[in-house]
Amino acid sequence: MERMKVELVIYEFTKTSEQNGSSFQKIEFTRECVNLTQAVSLSMDRSAGLKADRKRSFCPVTTDSKHKLPIAPNILNQDFKVLGLDKIWLSDITYIPVAGRWSYLFAIKDLFNREIIGWELGPTLETHHLLNAFEKALIRRRHPKGIIFHSDRGVQYASKDFRKLLNTNEFIQSMSRKGNCYDNAPMESFFKTLKVEEVYRRKFNTIKEAKYFLFDYIERYYNRRRRHSALEYLSPVEFRERITA
């Protein structure tokens, strides 16, 4: 029986591209009526030769807040409790190594179900990449109104073009305090997860190639399959479908 369990772990571990840790592995098998405790799960990981990647220390600097553009108040103020979809959207920018140079990922997340609803990868930090990511989020969520949009104080978020787009769609802008990454912790957490589970595992030779693998990770895995303890061990899409059914 134990051998069968180990073989099941190996099968599922491979099928999910080695992206689940022991806690999430346990949830996968609970769905298949295999009752694994945390200790047994860890033991099987060791006996099967499976181990998760160690997390790296990575501190990207993508925020240029040394500008004289308008700064929105910190409405969110680290209150990450939200009562429904399309109440609070978060956004941030991180860098992705591509062919020995930096490319930049602009991402937007619905705080309620942790779903990445808009993103754009570009070779520069120009504001039009943020505008594209925002337009994608609007289309995906069918142009909702009255949403709090929280980000850092970066020049892209404070730009005239982006503020105009927010106002046109009746969004309320919120910005973190200067230099305080904890004010946007859920976005920081997503970027850390993305890099550990996907970016650090690969070497991207072109932006086109990077976009392909980022699409696969974000749209097919993170949004649809990756389970979150805060979402009752459901994926963002599963959680959204449950509450809207």
Give 76-103 pLDDT, tens digit per residue: 999 999 999 999 999 999 999 999 999 9
Cα gap 219→222, rounded to integer Å: 6
Give 112-137 pLDDT, tens digit per residue: 999 999 999 999 999 999 999 999 99
Beta-bridge mates of residue 109: 90, 116
Instruction: Provide the CATH topology of domain 88-244.
Output: Nucleotidyltransferase; domain 5 (3.30.420)
Give 183-229 pLDDT, tens digit per residue: 999 999 999 999 999 999 999 999 999 999 999 999 999 999 999 99
What contacts 216, CB < 8 A, 6 or more positions away?
A: none
Buried b (16+ CB within 10 A) or exposed e, 124-144: ebebebbbebbebbbeebeeb
Give 50-70 pLDDT, tens digit per residue: 445 544 544 455 555 566 899
